[in-house]
Amino acid sequence: MTINNVSQAKVCGGWHKQYTHESATLNCTMRFAIFLPPSAVKSNPVPVLYWLSGLTCSDENFMQKAGAFRRAAELGIAIVAPDTSPRGEEVADDENYDLGQGAGFYLNATQEPWSRHYHMYDYVTKELPEIIEANFPVSQVKSIAGHSMGGHGALTIGLKNSQQYRSTSAFSPICNPMQCPWGQKAFNAYLGNEFEAWREYDASELLKQAPSELPILVDQGDADGFLAEQLKPEALVAAAQLHQSKVEVRMQPGYDHSYFFIASFIDQHLDFHARYLNQ
């Protein structure tokens, strides 16, 4: 797999770099960003935190706004941020922000015109880690985190692949997409009326089906304008309680849905992941 470096900058003793590559999974050119801490060398491969961003975002939002580099450098953790969807002139799109390019929802689409390109689940769980581990001084030890739609992706991917990830965390995740407008719109378009397939991409439904041993941390601002209609953390809490799954949901007073919220607590999330990545 050939990857092409399109930008790089030294930060906190490490390196932030962007790359493009031709994705066999998504049938288009994809871009990802990686932060390599100063301790990342061939003789000392470091663990990786995969970060999934939300609606309308790309690989750049977290890297530019979250303020994660200093703590990640101290902890010796690499961070990889993929784009949120396939992109390009031949990739299906929608005029609204919550469907199509920028809104991949981290699933494998089965319906036309989406099914040719929209396989973000396979990209994040298979193709991207293979690229990262083949080209950078990182180990196979990894965790996953995300925000909003990306929080939904991190939770569902972590729950469905608990042997692959050490821990999962999320900021303001879409916790019960089967029961909210964003999720219903995306699932109907990408998956059609196969409601059993919908359940496979809903963190609350997954936790209802079986207990999870994967450590999960969720932060949610109580001033988030999307809280009641779209995010529904109470559904995640109720589902986790059914089997006493290891899910901690923290309501943070006064915080909204923005990257100001993420920047306020990202060090705590990195510390949380470091406990499991370094075991």
Question: Which residues are catalytically annotated?
Answer: 148, 224, 257
Instruction: Enter the tokens of residue 110.
Output: 């089965």
Q: Is 197 exposed, middle or buried, given 0-12, 13-18 or 19+ CB atoms closer than 10 A?
A: middle
Contacts of 141 (CB under 8 A, 6+ apart): 47, 48, 166, 277
Task: Judge whether 205 and 182 are in contact, CB under 8 Å.
Answer: no
Contacts of 61 (CB under 8 A, 6+ apart): 53, 54, 259
Is the bond leading into 253 cis (omega within 30 degrees of zero)? no
Could you tell me which of 220, 50, 61 has the C-alpha nearest to residue 123?
A: 50
Instruction: Enter the tokens of residue 170.
Output: 């999320």
Q: List the 168-171 sheet strands across, edge first.
A: 3-11, 14-23, 28-36, 78-82, 46-52, 138-147, 168-171, 216-221, 247-252
The phi and psi torsions of 15 (rounded to 5 degrees) equal -135, 135
How many residues appear in the chain? 279
